[in-house]
Amino acid sequence: MSQYNTTILIIDDNEEHANATAEAIQKVGYKCIVATSGKAGLKIIETEEIDVVITDLIMHDFSGMEILKATKEKLPEAEIILITGYGTVETAVDAMQKGAATFLLKPININHLRAEINKLVEKQNLVRNNILLQKQLDEKYGLTGIIGNSASMQKVLTMVNQISGTNATVLITGESGTGKELIAKTIHNNSLRKHNPLVILNSAAIPENILESELFGHEKGSFTGALYQRKGKFEYAHRGTFFLDEIGDMPLSAQAKLLRVLEDGMITRIGSNESIEVDVRLIAATNQELGNLIKEGKFREDLYFRLNVIRIKLPPLRERLEDIPLLLDAFIREFSRLYSKEILQITPEARKILLRYQWPGNIRELKNCIESMVVITTKKYLDVEDLPDHIEKKSDEMPVSHGLMAGMTMEDAEIELIKCTLASVGGNREEAARMLGIGERTLYRKLDLYRLK
C-alpha cells in the first residue's frame, strides 16, 4: 500500500486549523478526512477504514483520550498521533502508554508531521506485507507455522511439500534451533499418516544402556530391572511416523539394529526371538556432520545411505537474515497474545541490532529473545533496553566503506553505498532500503541497473 491509498483522519475543532493540516498532508499524496468535532470524528472511526488518526488532545466535546480509546477498539491497526499544547504534555505521555504512536506540540511543524506520518505508514505497510506474505506462503504450501521467505527456506518448503505424501525416509540436518523438529512435525501432519501417531525420541537424551529397549521394547526378565514386558517406540509408531532426533549420538550397536529395521521393516524386542512387523516412516535429524562421524568410525556408512534418501538441509539463521523481519513480527504477535499485551511493535534501533546479531542458537534463540523482551517491557514497544544482556547493544557500528575516493563517479559511489548498506544488514533488502531512505522498489531497480542482484 502506498501513501495514495492511505487514509488519514484529522480531528480538530478548530476548523481553519484542521483544513490547513489536511491540505498540507494531501499535498504529499495522502487521502484526508476532516472532522471538526470529537463526535464527528468518532462517527468516522466507527464507519470508515482509517490508517492514521491525528487528533487534538483538547476539544470542546470529546477529549483526544476518548478518541484514542475508540480508535484502539474499532480500528486496532490504525496509528494515532496526538496534537497537544505545552500544558498537556503529561496527558500526551500517558496517551502514548495507552497506545498512541506519538504526540506533537503546537504549533505543528508540518514537515515534522509529514515525517511522522511517513514513518507510521511505512511501519504499517511492513507489518501488512509480512502478514500477506506469510498468508501467501501458507496458501502455497499448506504448511502453517513455518516462517521464512528466503530462497533457502522456500526451497525447503517446496521439498517438504513434495515429499510429505510419500513414505520415503528423510534425513534433516541443521544446527540446533534451526527448526528440524518443526519440519518433521510438518511432514507428518501433511502426510497420509497424520491420523496415526507421531513418536519422537531424542537419542542423545537416553542413556546408552536403555536406548535399545526404548527403540525396540523388551520382554519381561530380559535384563536386570526388566520387570514387565514393554513396547518400544517403533511399535508405538506403527502406521505413523517416528522422528528420531540427534541420530549422530546413537551408539553403533543400536545403529546396526536400526539398519535392520529399515531394511526389512521388522523389529525384535530385547529378549525375544519373535520378529514383529512395523509400518513406520522414519524421519531422522542431526546437528552433526555425519560424514565426519563416519570417518571417525562413529557412524555406520550403510545406515547413512539408508537414511539419506531425502535430505533436507536447514540453513543457520545467520545465512538467511532476510527471514528475520517476518519471524520478528510473527513472534511479537504470538507472545503479545500469549502474555495479553496489546500487539507490540519494535523500534528500528532494536530491529537493527537483532538483524546484525549472529544467532548461534538460531530461531530458538530469536524466539526466546522476543519472548523475554515481550515479558519485561513496560512500554507499548520493544526497545534496545529490553534486549537480553548478551546481545551487543551498539547499533552505530556500521560497516565502513573504504571504497570511496575523490575522482570516482556518483554512480560508483552509489554502488559502494548500496553494497556497504546491504552488508550491514546481512543482505536484507527491506531493511537496507529503509536505512538508505528509499523505497524497496527503488532499491530493486538500482540493484538491477547496477547488476548487483
Tell me which residues touch ligand ATP (CB under 6 A): 146-148, 174, 176-182, 245, 287, 363-364, 367
> Whole-angstrom Cα distance, residue 424 to residue 280?
47
State the pairing for strand pair 217-218/230-231. Answer: antiparallel
- Least distance (Å) between residue 191 CB and ligand ATP: 17
Which of 23, 88, 25, 79 lies closest to 56 in space, CA to CA? 88
- Least distance (Å) between residue 141 CB and ligand ATP: 12
Nearer to ligand ATP, 361 or 427 (CB): 361
Nearer to ligand ATP, 100 or 147 (CB): 147
- Least distance (Å) between residue 293 CB and ligand ATP: 16
- Least distance (Å) between residue 364 CB and ligand ATP: 4
Whether 176 contacts 364, CB under 8 Å: yes
> Whole-angstrom Cα distance, residue 312 to residue 164?
12
> Between the CA atoms of 452, 127, 353 and 361, what dihedral angle is there, to the nearest 10 degrees?
-90
- Least distance (Å) between residue 155 CB and ligand ATP: 13
Nearer to ligand ATP, 79 or 175 (CB): 175
- Least distance (Å) between residue 103 CB and ligand ATP: 36
> Whole-angstrom Cα distance, residue 255 to residue 286?
14
Query: Grid coordinates standing for 398?
Result: 556500521
- Least distance (Å) between residue 171 CB and ligand ATP: 13
Eight-class DSSP state of 247 = G
Which DSSP string corresponds to 377-417? --SSEE-GGGS-TTS------PPPP----TTS-HHHHHHHH
Instruction: Please enumerate in sequence order all residues whose Cβ is within 8 A of that of 159, keeping only pairs 6 or more positions apart, or say none.
Output: 310, 312
Nearer to ligand ATP, 149 or 345 (CB): 149
Nearer to ligand ATP, 122 or 334 (CB): 334
Nearer to ligand ATP, 55 or 287 (CB): 287
Nearer to ligand ATP, 232 or 315 (CB): 315
Instruction: Please enumerate in sequence order all residues whose Cβ is within 8 A of that of 37, keeping only pairs 6 or more positions apart, or say none.
Output: 11, 13, 59, 60, 61, 62
What count of residues does the chain have?
Answer: 453
- Least distance (Å) between residue 149 CB and ligand ATP: 10
241-245 sheet: strands from edge to edge: 198-202, 241-245, 281-286, 170-173, 310-313
Nearer to ligand ATP, 44 or 200 (CB): 200
Nearer to ligand ATP, 56 or 322 (CB): 322
Query: Grid coordinates standing for 148?
Result: 521464512
Instruction: Please enumerate in sequence order all residues whose Cβ is within 8 A of that of 124, keeping only pairs 6 or more positions apart, or say none.
Output: 1, 6, 51, 77, 79
- Least distance (Å) between residue 363 CB and ligand ATP: 4
Nearer to ligand ATP, 292 or 442 (CB): 292
Residue nearest to ligand ATP (CB): 179
Q: Which amino acid is at 138?
A: D
- Least distance (Å) between residue 353 CB and ligand ATP: 20
Q: What are phi and psi of 74, to 5 degrees?
A: -85, -35
